[in-house]
């Protein structure tokens, strides 16, 4: 049998018995990740600031996959709220094995010398502090349960600059460094931690962009299009799976060759 003729592996049950927490799960990449984990057999806690949206998302995933789901309202800028979300996941679903720290915002657009201080603080609080607070509370629960895997959602702007987005770029660079540091600290204890760096993805975050701005973003990607949430979900879920058992502290780009230029 040739490699081309071999059937693709069946990953429908690769997360059976596993419990996952996904932040920013009401829409976009977070929703796609949560749905993919549920399709793979995981029980999934969907956490988001948008309480109505995340409840609807959890209900829909349960309806379509039959997986156990839990909707949790979380404000990732508040460490107490994050702790409560992690605790609710472990208490209601029985454990915490997998986490995707995906919640984030885009922020305002302005040059560094003109960037509003309140906007800076808001972006850093959500996109960087939120990842730290999440890992701060996820890791002890995973260690107590024998280990786990975490994926932090960075960006291509975790390795590149981008005019007008100093706060977002700084936060995503911080996520990459935080990921590598935590991976070093916990690799020997059975918790794998990695980061994913999507290019511009067709999500609600870009919904407000006009046609000209959208077309401009497309031209930045040699692949000639924006990415899809489901494509990011596939990479993320692979990194959470046992198939990626020797991948620690890595930063994986999925960007239609944006960063290859």
Mean pLDDT value across residues 36-51 = 98
Least reliable range by pLDDT among 158-167, 176-185, 198-207: 198-207
How far apart CA 130 and CA 125 sit, in angstroms, is 6
**Which residues neighbour 185 within 8 Å (Cβ) at sequence distance 6 or greater?**
none
In order of start, what are the domains of the chain with their CATH numbers? Answer: 12-260 (3.40.50.720)
Q: Which of 11, 115, 133, 168 is catalytic?
A: 168
Per the annotation, the verdict on 168 as an active-site residue is yes
The pLDDT assigned to 252 comes to 98
How far apart CA 237 and CA 239 sit, in angstroms, is 5
Looking at the predicted structure, is the pLDDT value of residue 63 above 80?
Answer: yes
Looking at the predicted structure, is the pLDDT value of residue 7 above 90?
Answer: no
Backbone dihedral region for residue 41 (phi beyond 0: left; psi -120 to 50: alpha; all else: beta)? left
């Amino acid at each position: 049998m040739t490699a081309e003729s071999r059937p693709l592996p069946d990953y429908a049950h690769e997360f059976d018995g596993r419990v996952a927490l996904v932040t920013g799960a009401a829409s976009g990449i977070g929703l796609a990740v949560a749905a993919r984990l549920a399709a793979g057999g995981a029980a999934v806690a969907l956490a988001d600031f948008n309480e109505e949206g995340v409840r609807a998302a959890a209900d829909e995933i349960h309806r379509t996959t039959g997986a156990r789901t839990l909707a949790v309202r979380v404000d990732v800028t508040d460490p107490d709220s994050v702790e409560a979300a992690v605790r609710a996941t472990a208490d209601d679903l029985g454990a915490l094995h997998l986490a995707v720290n995906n919640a984030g915002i885009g922020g305002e657009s302005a040059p560094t010398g003109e960037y509003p201080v309140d906007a800076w603080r808001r972006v850093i609080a959500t996109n960087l502090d939120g990842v730290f607070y999440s890992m701060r509370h996820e890791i002890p629960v995973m260690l107590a349960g024998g280990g786990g895997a975490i994926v932090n959602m960075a960006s291509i702007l975790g390795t590149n600059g981008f005019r007008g987005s100093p706060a977002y770029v700084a936060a995503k660079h911080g996520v990459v460094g935080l990921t590598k540091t935590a991976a070093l600290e916990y690799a020997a204890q059975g918790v794998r931690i990695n980061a994913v760096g999507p290019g511009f993805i067709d999500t609600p975050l870009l919904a407000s962009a006009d046609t000209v701005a959208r077309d401009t973003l497309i031209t930045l990607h040699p692949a000639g299009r924006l990415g899809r949430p489901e494509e990011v979900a596939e990479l993320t879920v692979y990194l959470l799976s046992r198939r990626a058992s020797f991948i620690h502290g890595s930063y994986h780009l999925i960007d239609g060759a944006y960063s290859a230029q």
